[in-house]
């Protein structure tokens, strides 16, 4: 019985020993990967620093050349080109829609009043008198106009 127990304990000990070894292997590979990442990060930081220095040097040379050219010729020149905006600043889409709705509403109201003014249909007895009077006036004006127009043609 004691032997069976020792076998179980030695088996457990061996299993734990294997787990410990695999964990150590994983830790060493993770450390290697961390070292590689740290080296890559350092390289990127150096590259960033170099690129920034080259950019600043270029801007300084560029602006000095432009300023020299401007002072030598005595004329005004563009130092920096305009920056193109990412999106339209004005008018915004909501403003355009709101203006369209308001203009459409105003046009509809004006159109309704104009249409109402053009409506010469008879709706009551009083409208009959007004309408007949207006038609008579229109006919008289047209007759006078035609008469004067014919007289002018004959005299010419």
Backbone φ, ψ for residue 121 (5° rounding): -75, 150
Higher pLDDT, 98 or 2: 98
Output the six-digit token pair for 71: 């002072």
116-148 pLDDT tens trace: 877 766 666 666 666 666 777 777 777 777 777
pTM confidence score: 0.30
Domain locations along the chain: 1-77, 91-120, 122-156
Query: How far apart, in whole angstroms, are the C-alpha atoms of residue 122 and residue 105?
Result: 29
103-117 pLDDT tens trace: 999 999 999 988 887
């Amino acid at each position: 019985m004691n032997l069976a127990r020792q076998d179980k304990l030695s088996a457990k000990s061996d299993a734990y020993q294997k787990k410990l070894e695999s964990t150590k292997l994983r830790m060493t590979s993770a450390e290697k990967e961390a070292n590689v990442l740290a080296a890559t990060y350092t390289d990127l930081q150096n590259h960033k620093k170099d690129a920034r220095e080259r950019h600043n040097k270029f801007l300084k040379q560029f602006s000095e050349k432009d300023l020299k050219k401007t002072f030598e010729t005595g004329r005004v020149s563009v130092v920096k080109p305009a920056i193109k905006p990412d999106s339209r600043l004005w008018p915004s889409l909501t403003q355009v829609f709101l203006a369209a709705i308001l203009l459409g509403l105003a046009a509809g109201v004006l159109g309704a009043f104009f249409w109402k003014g053009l409506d010469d249909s008879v709706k009551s007895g009083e409208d009959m008198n007004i309408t007949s009077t207006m038609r008579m006036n229109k006919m008289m004006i047209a007759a006078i106009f035609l008469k004067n127009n014919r007289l002018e043609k004959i005299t010419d």
